[in-house]
Amino acid sequence: MPRRRTSSSSSSTAPSAAPRNRTPQPVRVRRRSFGDFVKAFLAFVVLLVLVVGVPLALATQIGWPLPDGAPSLDWLQREITVQTFLHILTVVVWFAWAQFTACVLVEVKAALSGVGVPGRVPGAGPSQLLARQLVAALLLVGATAASLTPGLSQLGQSMEGNQKPSVAAAQQTPGIFAQQQEQAAGTASALAEQAGQAAARADGGSAAHGDTKYYRIQPPEGRHHDSLWEIADRHLGDGRRYKEIFELNKDRVQPDGSKLSEASLIRPGWIMEMPGDARGGELVEMPDEAPNVSEQVQQQISDYARTGDHAQGGGGSGAHGGGGDNAQVSLPEQRPAPATPATPAPSTGQDHAATPAAADHSFGLPEALLAAPLLAAGLLGALGRRRRQALWQSALGSVGGRRGMEPPTPTGDAQDVQDALLVGADPEGVRLLDRALRGLAAALAAESRPLPVVYAAWMGGNGDLHLQLAQPAGKPPAPWQLGQDQTFWLLARADAERYEDVDTAAPYPGLVSLGTMDDSRLLLNLESVPGIVSLGGSEADRTAVFASVAAELATNGWSDRMTITLVGFGDDLTPLAPNRIRHLDGFEDLFETMSAETRQRRGALGAAGHDSVLTGRTGPAQHTRWAPHLVLLAAQPSDEDALRLAELAADAGRLGIGYLVGTEGTDLPGAAWEMQITGEGKLLAPLLGLELEAQTLPAAQQRAVVELFTDADPEHGPGGSGGPGGASGTANTPPFLVDISEQGRPAVYARLVGSYEIIGLDAPDGERSALLHEALALLLLHREGVHPRVLSSALWPRGVTADVRDALLERLRAWLGTDPDGTPRLTTDATGRLTLAKSVVSDLDVLRSLYYEATQGRGVGSRQVRGRLLTDALVLVRGPLLADRPEGRYRWLTHEIIDAQLPLLVADTGLALSEFHLEKNRAEKAIEALNAALRTAPADERLWHELLRATHTTGDTDRLHALAADLVGRSGARGVPPRTEALLDELLPTWREGVAAAG
């Protein structure tokens, strides 16, 4: 909160422009109740029983358990009796009593002294917690209760009985959001009371008493020691306002040269600046009006007054101008790029936009996705997984339709969005970010160090990764190094590439891209922000940001598990990740759900002995309860709902719960971050010194992305059970059919299944041969057409200039040549995409066409034709796709699903040919066809089942035993699949004995 000025300066100073509702207003004073005395009495009884009763009972009932003298060898040879076990148990109880008693003494000493925080008794976590609660309850009715850690004074009063983190720990967070954390926590503690008093205080509050007031810590009187809680209770009307006093005075030099760093650690003689509405007679003193104190104390107060923010010209405006480090998100300093870098810089979403190739025009592709490399990579990877899943479901017969064939080809906006994903995606950046974060977690765990709280990550244009910490956390583990200050940890691109996959939980799954600033991409860790993140702006602009955040969280590659709750928007985003995204209709449903989860997480953390979810992610229980839950509330809640939400989110940061809330204004209670999205696509956070190029997902592109995912779902897309397709529908037709008759012989024939070779063209120039071959392969795998930017992005993932790209296209056209009628074999369609003429085909086109003709064309009515077509198709299979492709090239294949399509197509062909031969009892021919298909699709369980059945028809038991042994050997540690095991039991009941004998 802005510190109040002295009387000499306050009159000439404009009111602070800091956000409203940030400083908690005083609430009703809570007096000690009868229940407090009951708790104190019960605590006294429990302490008396545990500290005095236990040793008395042990001494009178059992006696001293240890031997009177030194043990001898005869003692070791004695018979172990029940009495021996009782003595052992007694020793354990004595040790437990001694440890608990030590905890009680430590807590009582800290409570009575009022100085410092209690020491930690080794190995006594639960025992010391119990002792602390009992001592606090006992002293709650006494004057010394407030001298404990301030959070303990609220035991029995806090909402729903949940403990909150100690203020000392919270206030020691001098990181980038420390000021917001204190404000959010303070706001939530008084929100329920302040709503009705805010207006009254606005008229007659501290503004009317603008003079700065001071209080001098008094020496102890008997058992009573001054504490911030007692001072706030006497002079501000509510002990819970001690946070305001702490915030005004923390880290300021006191008369004895020390500083206030913990709310529970104050010393006699210290000076405390007080809020302007403090009351209390001569105890509250002003430097110019303190007649009852000595000149020495007056001088100390005057000297202390010069150490405040107002004395340094900061005042309340410092939060806006970037004067306070704790209120700023600092842009990391970029290391100078080496003269000859060993590796090219990674894509950060600006690579393509910065190149001349992108400067000419975008060819109609949506720029929002082109500039979102991490989001595009996540969506592209999730889409590929969804399409592979659909293919396997179709192949296994769970869903009718596209057996081993292409998924539906997107058109219109969906096609543009798919191309934008292919161009903009930076899968390498995602992989490096994921490995770097998991590697950091593993290194810290190996050193028995906790994960630091990370509020943000910056991905620099030179490939470096900067983590911005909430507070200094010491020296980072190698190869990480300190950045521009103690709150930045830096990992160079070259060091990140040396990381390998490690089996550890994702440490910061709540990181999500917000936008770019000076060629650096900001990822905010939503789950660790101390409070709510608010987003203002028009509804359409806010929704575009919300959709981008939701889509990236749902599909990113640096998270394991998470829950994303969308309220008031995004009900159609669920297809992106049904296991992660859920949609709620309104605030009441959200409040009921999150209240229950907040209680559960607090209890789980307490039971596990963790301070936050971060400590839980590096321990033995790292994969259990600590997945983040991120709430996106697009519509502004009502005033009452906003107060409830702020109180709910007060300590959400340590619970792994993040809140992003839309607002039409700039005043949302409990907001730790206030951001604004403009109509020009700027994401502004003035209090944090940020002006980003926002990452958004506009409504039209959002619909197109969802269309890609729903079309890939076999249950809802064309050809599935929810669509009009079927075995004979268009979804089963290949995108490009070849004339397989003698008259349809192509002019250019490329072999892709197996080693790559081209028939019908002269060999191109040796220097450019690899690029031309790769470009032709991409075009052959996409007969629907390839966007020029997709082609250039595939060949040059780091970006390329327009003249280089255009020069390659001209060479490709010249190499492919023209048909006899003069038609170019490489043309551009109406949408600007590159397409090949029908005279240029690949063996994959022929394979698809042969299978289609055999199962749905001419082969359906002629058994002889079907057998010949299937045999010809299987002969084409010479190995995996592009088997001899050079290392480092064809990386775009990772975005394709051809690696799943080709084995399924080959398996379907082999199964159909096997069925054809078995109809005539030609078991050996069927086995030959199945073995040929297994060479390309060795993991297809259907082929093994048919091979077992075909071998069984031969009546050769030894051969069947050998096949079963081969199957078991291939299954490895996972064992034989259940359906295969059931089939073996049916065909060969003694297969286990044979396998054991062979082993």
pLDDT (tens digit per residue) in 759-818: 999 888 777 888 999 999 999 999 989 999 999 999 998 888 888 999 999 999 999 999
Q: What percent of the chain has pLDDT over 90?
A: 27
In angstroms, the Cα distances linking 220 to 113, 224, 281 are 9, 6, 19
pLDDT in tens, 551-587: 999 999 998 888 999 998 888 899 999 889 999 988 8
* pLDDT confidence band for 335 (50 / 70 / 90): low
Minimum mean pLDDT range among 270-279, 335-344, 777-786, 984-993: 335-344
What is the pLDDT averaged over residues 931-952? 90
In whole angstroms, give the CA distance from residue 906 to residue 388.
16
Mean pLDDT for the chain? Answer: 76
What is the pLDDT averaged over residues 257-276? 78
- Nearest CA among 327, 684, 660 for reference residue 515: 684
CB 339 within 8 A of CB 422: no
In whole angstroms, give the CA distance from residue 11 to residue 882.
79
pLDDT exceeds 70 at position 202? no
Mean pLDDT is highest, among 107-121, 396-410, 492-506, 724-738, for 492-506
CB 231 within 8 A of CB 215: yes
Contacts of 515 (CB under 8 A, 6+ apart): 521, 522, 683, 692, 693, 694, 695
- Determine the Cα angle at 694 with ends 689 and 700, to 5°: 160
pLDDT exceeds 50 at position 511? yes
Alpha carbon 934 to chain centroid, angstroms: 40
pLDDT exceeds 80 at position 163? no
> Residue 200 has what pLDDT?
39
Query: Phi and psi (nearest 5°) for 782?
Result: -135, 80
Dihedral sign for Cα 356, 360, 362, 367, please: positive
For tokens 């944090």, the residue is 688
> Residue 111 has what pLDDT?
66
Helices (H), 609-667: 613-617, 639-648, 652-655
pLDDT exceeds 90 at position 260? no
* pLDDT confidence band for 667 (50 / 70 / 90): confident
Contacts of 922 (CB under 8 A, 6+ apart): none
User: Helices 242-249 and 228-235: crossing angle, nearest 10°?
Assistant: 110
CA-based max dimension of the chain: 116
pLDDT exceeds 60 at position 287? no
| Element (DSSP H or E) covering residue 426 | none
Scored b (16 or more CB within 10 A) or e, 473-493 reads beebbebbeebeeebbbbbbb
Query: In terms of pLDDT, which residue wins out, 805 or 81?
Result: 805
pLDDT in tens, 943-972: 999 999 999 999 888 888 888 888 888 887
Q: What share of the chain is helix, strand, coil (3-state, %, to 5)?
A: 50, 10, 40
User: Helices 178-194 and 639-648: crossing angle, nearest 10°?
Assistant: 130
Query: In terms of pLDDT, which residue wins out, 347 or 384?
Result: 384
Structure tokens at 618: 């590096």
* pLDDT confidence band for 724 (50 / 70 / 90): very low
pLDDT exceeds 60 at position 487? yes
In whole angstroms, give the CA distance from residue 760 to residue 747.
6
Q: What percent of the chain has pLDDT over 70?
A: 74
Structure tokens at 827: 């043309």
How far is the first Cα of the chain from the last one, in angstroms, to the nearest whole number? 75
| Strand ordering across the sheet containing 748-751 | 757-759, 748-751, 840-842
In whole angstroms, give the CA distance from residue 960 to residue 781.
40
Structure tokens at 875: 């002969």
In whole angstroms, give the CA distance from residue 209 to residue 219.
28
Strand 488-491 and strand 465-469: pairing? antiparallel
pLDDT exceeds 60 at position 608? yes
User: Long-range contact list for 760-765, CB < 8 A, 24+ apart?
Assistant: 761/815, 761/816, 761/817, 762/815, 764/811, 764/815, 765/811
Query: In terms of pLDDT, which residue wins out, 920 or 61?
Result: 920
pLDDT exceeds 70 at position 547? yes
Q: Give me the count of residues in the chain.
A: 999
338: preceding bond cis by omega (within 30 degrees): no
DSSP secondary structure string for all residues of 832-845:
S-EEE-TTEEEHHH
For tokens 């390498």, the residue is 428
* pLDDT confidence band for 846 (50 / 70 / 90): very high
pLDDT in tens, 436-476: 999 999 999 889 888 898 989 999 888 899 999 988 889 99
Structure tokens at 129: 């917690």
| Element (DSSP H or E) covering residue 978 | helix 978-987
* pLDDT confidence band for 184 (50 / 70 / 90): very low
Helices (H), 736-787: 769-781
pLDDT exceeds 50 at position 694? yes
Beta bridge partners of residue 616, listed in sequence order: none
CB 274 within 8 A of CB 210: no
* pLDDT confidence band for 29 (50 / 70 / 90): very low
CB 453 within 8 A of CB 460: no
For tokens 């606005």, the residue is 202
* pLDDT confidence band for 315 (50 / 70 / 90): very low
